[in-house]
Structure 1
Amino acid sequence: MVRPALVAALLGSLSVLGGCMRKEPAPQASTPEAGTSAPTQTSGAILFVSADTRGYLGPCGCSENMRGGIGRAAFQVSEARKGGLPVLYVDGGNSLFGETTLKPGQVPQEELKAKALADAMRLMGLSVRATGPLDDTRGAAFRQGLGLPEVGDGAVKLLPAGSRQVGIVSAETGAQLVAASGQARSQGADFVVGLLDAPLEEAQKAAELPGLAVDVLVATRSATELSGEQNRLVKSAVPVVAPQSKGRSLVRVDLSFAPRPGRFTLQKGQADMEREVAALEQRAVLLDKDINQPGIDPKLKALKQAKRDELVARKQALVSAPPAAATDVNGFTVRFVPLEAGLPSLPDAQALVARYDAEVGKLNLAWAKEHGQDCPAPAKGQSSFVGNAPCKSCHEEAFPLWEKSKHHHAWETLVDLGKQHHLNCVGCHVTGWEQPSGVCRLDKVEGREDVGCESCHGPGSAHVDEPSSDNIVASPGEALCVTCHNAENSPHFDFATYLPRILGPGHGEPVSAKPSGSPVDAQKPAKP
């Protein structure tokens, strides 16, 4: 067993999600005391909402310019507090874990990560949060033990916002939402935010229910991985928002107060800003695809990155600028704040990330040594993993190409960052992770480091014993590649573009052929 003293020491030091994260720029900001704001005026208020974070404290970092990171979110809230208006931070739930069930080996890491996320929320001055199924993965007692302020399903929490009251209501169903929103109004809420534990489509239906008394409705759970990839805002009588999942965006609501209390109306004039932001995002997406192109010239990459950073700065100025206040009505605007790469992180929040990264690997390795079990043997008649050495004995001509590739350095990239024992990362950086006869223990990786031959061609024992095209995957296709080069880790992956980067003499081409444009000709060859 893992020694109790070790677990206690490791759980005392918290931080953020494992992944090869890009170095954050140094922000020029002071850290606010959690939960404080000293408004000098009460002409309005600012509300930030996160939801559907799914246990992500930061992006995996496997590609350039990935969104997300609790440090970036904390910086946005901190900067808003400098403006003098009351600032409220609310979490919609489904934030602490990414799955409703965990394997035993995942438990130490995921609990440590949830604790780090809770600490980050406190640092941001969390006002209240709703809960969802992804918050109770380790049970209600664990969730409650984190000590975060919560609002239960069908319940109301009133938050002071200068001269007004903001009501936060949480619900699992439309009926709960209607009842709780009416209760919030009766208790004196001037502005009501609904947090519905449902996907956007269900939230849209709830927004049309008679008797609903919310001003903004947040869908706090994405239906699928794909639906969580984008920020979505549906403008209707009640605006319905669904932020990008995995902590990649915040919802920002700006309130402007008229001299007298009254119902709030969605301010006009936001459409022009939204169109400009959308245009900047489209241009950034195109640049991202170029920047992540395998084998791109370093000078060209730097130029494109500089242009992208300029677009991000322009977009950030748009989404963080206060709207023009309506002097005669109580108004509000709703917009998203994408947490783009290149934006600063709050130092104290990044310190949580750094401590987590340092401690979670130690915790995982200790667990593996005490409790780890080897992978099962293959089923009768199935091949087992044998490593690269037997492959090289017959296919030596293919190895010069592989040895210059990123696949060959996959394990090294984790070691360089100290993340070789992070469960979120290791599976795509070794050969045969959690497969029969493969690697199932972090303390027994030796000999299976990197993305080797069998990562793409399958276990090779039968082929080694009796070479034949019938007992090996001769030409692996796109379906295999996207198990690692997926939308999350490699969002700009294009099979037709990447494939030529791993083909060459002895590996898809005759040894005598000159591989024009292949990695062999490149000074620093790239390979997915």
Structure 2
Amino acid sequence: MIRNFSKIPVLIIIVFVFMFLALSNQGCNDHYGNETGKDPDKTLSLPVIHIVFTGEENGYLEPCGCSEGQLGGFAKRQTLINQLRKKDQDLILLSMGDLPGKVGRQEEIKMETALEALGLMDYVAHNIGEKDLNMGIDFLGYLSQISNIEFISSNITGLATRALNIKPYVVKEIKTNETIFKVGILGIVSPALIENEIQDLEVMDPVLSLKPLLSDLNDKTDLLILLSHAEMAESVKIAEEYPELELIISGHMVDRPDLYHQKVNNTYIASVGEKGKYVGNISISLQPKQTSEDNNSFSTAIETIALDEKFADSSDIAMLLGIYQQRLQDEELLAQVFKSDHPSNLSFTGNDDCALCHNSIFKHWEETGHASAYETLVNAEHEYDPECVACHVIGLNYFSGFETTELTPEMKGVGCESCHGPGSDHKDTQSQDYGMVSVENCEICHNPEHSPKFEYKEYWQKIKHPREEKQGGD
């Protein structure tokens, strides 16, 4: 905003403008920085507000651990946040939405665990995303009552009649350099992302719903932040409509958030990424408003931090994740996995039946990592986690596949039929056209999340078995 300098001598105005332009040029790299440019804490004497943001975990509490180089996890996140807190105790931690990925009892336990982890890290607010809504209003209401994190949504109406404790915005006070700043935090979810109509709820057009809220907040706050659970194009539109928003945290289905930072007029837009792989860290050097009609004068540095191996796992969150695994075991979720007939209408027979006729191949398999795949889960204490077990046994999601190690020990590990398919017909007929394997078979489990360094030709050499000699001398 433009301030009134009419009583200041012209020479001082010229000097001030020169200094302002010089500082602006120095900080231009900071607008979109991935640890580029200078730290505004050092280049400016203005107070600095630090905002840390995450979102779209989509059910990922931690990397599966099946390979090196995986990013993310709440345990690494807390270690990073603890490091950032050593520089500033008054971090503002924000969650953009979509803690769960699917629906079901395991996702409910995940969401409870995720919110408890966010609480341990002192998050201020969680914006409601469409996958949060998919968990059901009653369950969300329960979570909103037991969580110490504010649930917010500025464009979902009809919530007042339920036990769902959601606010249209929150105002966070931060004291820095003996000055108290008030930060207004709003949140929206794009109506385009809501696939199923939810009774008594209306998801409004964000442009319409934000207008009265921003009008109310403008003279009460020094900084306005929007958590925009929407695709970048929609967030840009909101920025164009409401230049009073200093910061929009956005991005839906964004894999590389550092590539999407941008500035629209006076509004900075930063992206969060997916599955908890990254943490956004924003430093805002802020000049307080002199009147309610002023805009803030500020400089912003945006940093995207990958949660890689340089961050150790926090013991507090590791303990919480251990409790999560124990709950999966206690509730016997492995026995509740949805099962169906295999599309081929054939059945799995198990590793032992394969060994009867293919003994040399079976012995070779026993020396590969596929054979010990289930034991890796036992060692990691994840053997009761249905999402993990599915890629470490034969046919978990089918009636004839793995149930438990006691009932179906022959289905442990990534066995013959994990790659070649159900072998019941081959067992009965010794058909020669059984079991062709392609890269698509492997990529079901060796996907970018579980096996980011997967190369078919390289990995194939680790497990391919020798050819068998033909029987009968022909």
What TM-score, normalized by structure 2, do the two folds share?
0.74
Corresponding residue for 1:249? 278
C-alpha distance in 2 between matches for 1:168 and 1:186: 12
C-alpha distance in 2 between matches for 1:414 and 1:364: 16
Corresponding residue for 2:141? 144
CA contact (8 A) 2:249 2:269 kept: yes
C-alpha distance in 1 between matches for 2:64 and 2:219: 43
Indicate yes or no: 2:80 matched with 1:76.
yes
C-alpha distance in 2 between matches for 1:88 and 1:342: 23
Matching residue within 188, 203, 207 for 1:171: 188
Structure 1 residues 177 and 372, CA, compared in 2 at 3 Å: closer, same or farther?
closer
Corresponding residue for 1:217? 248
Between 1:385-394 and 1:43-52, the stretch displaced more is: 385-394
C-alpha distance in 1 between matches for 2:242 and 2:289: 24
Matching residue within 438, 443, 453 for 1:482: 443
Indicate yes or no: 2:131 matched with 1:130.
no
CA displacement, residues 168-194 of structure 1 (integer Å, 9 cap, x when unaligned): 111234414652663365242222211
Corresponding residue for 1:437? 400
Q: Secondary structure at the match of 2:98?
A: coil
Matching residue within 423, 447, 464 for 1:460: 423
CA contact (8 A) 2:393 2:413 kept: yes
TM superposition outliers: structure 1 runs of 4+ over 6 Å: none
Percent identity for Structure 1 against Structure 2 = 25
Corresponding residue for 1:116? 113
Q: Secondary structure at the match of 1:136?
A: helix
Matching residue within 247, 253, 260 for 1:233: 260
Indicate yes or no: 2:87 matched with 1:58.
no
Structure 1 residues 143 and 42, CA, compared in 2 at 3 Å: closer, same or farther?
farther
Structure 1 residues 499 and 387, CA, compared in 2 at 3 Å: closer, same or farther?
same
What TM-score, normalized by structure 1, do the two folds share?
0.67
Indicate yes or no: 2:329 matched with 1:361.
yes
C-alpha distance in 1 between matches for 2:341 and 2:414: 21
AA in 1 matched with 2:54: S
Corresponding residue for 1:417? 380
Corresponding residue for 1:503? 464
AA in 2 matched with 1:246: K
Aligned 1:123-522 pairs, distance under 5 A = 123-146=120-143, 147=147, 148-154=149-155, 155-162=168-175, 163-172=180-189, 173-176=205-208, 178-179=210-211, 182-183=214-215, 185-208=217-240, 210-219=241-250, 221-222=252-253, 227-228=254-255, 231-237=258-264, 238-258=267-287, 263-264=295-296, 329-364=297-332, 368=335, 375-376=339-340, 382-439=345-402, 444-470=407-433, 472-474=434-436, 476-506=437-467
CA contact (8 A) 1:232 1:241 kept: no
CA contact (8 A) 2:50 2:88 kept: no
Structure 1 residues 45 and 501, CA, compared in 2 at 3 Å: closer, same or farther?
same
Point out the structure with max Rg over C-alpha: 2
More strand by share: 2
| Runs of at least 5 residues in structure 1 that lack an aligned partner in the other structure | 1-40, 265-328, 512-528
Corresponding residue for 1:31? none
CA contact (8 A) 1:372 1:441 kept: no
Structure 1 residues 241 and 205, CA, compared in 2 at 3 Å: closer, same or farther?
same
Q: 1:65 deviation in Å?
A: 2.5
Corresponding residue for 2:25? none
Structure 1 residues 249 and 203, CA, compared in 2 at 3 Å: closer, same or farther?
same
Q: 1:361 deviation in Å?
A: 2.3
Q: 1:132 deviation in Å?
A: 1.2
Structure 1 residues 175 and 228, CA, compared in 2 at 3 Å: closer, same or farther?
same
C-alpha distance in 1 between matches for 2:112 and 2:453: 32
Q: 1:402 deviation in Å?
A: 1.0
